[in-house]
Amino acid sequence: MNISEVNRSVRCDMPNCKNFAKIKVQKPGFIMVAGMYLCDECAKELYEMLGHRFVPKSPDNMLNKRIRTKKEINNEN
């Protein structure tokens, strides 16, 4: 998926939004010119909503890794 800036006057693709688009989201495929145009406000709102839906998993720190390793060793015995 590609995100690029828009250099021409295009309206935002979100319903009931009358702002001009600043960002184009495009997925490579059969039709390369197809994409979705978003203004800054809609892009920010979409980013926040996706952030609530897809929460990244935090990496294991050394303390948790050591505790998990001890539990694995105890389970093997």
> How far is Cα 65 from Cα 77, in angstroms, rounded to an integer?
19
What range does the domain containing 60 cover? 2-76
pTM for the full predicted model:
0.63
pLDDT of residue 55: 77
> What's the alpha-carbon Rg for the chain, to the nearest Å?
22
The rounded distance, in Å, linking the Cα atoms of 19 and 38 is: 9
Model pLDDT for residues 3-60, shown as the tens digit of each residue: 999 998 999 999 999 999 999 998 887 766 678 999 999 999 999 999 888 877 766 6
Q: State the total domains in the chain.
A: 1
Buried b / exposed e over 13-39, threshold 16 CB at 10 Å, is: ebeeeeeebbbbbbeeeeeeeebbbbb
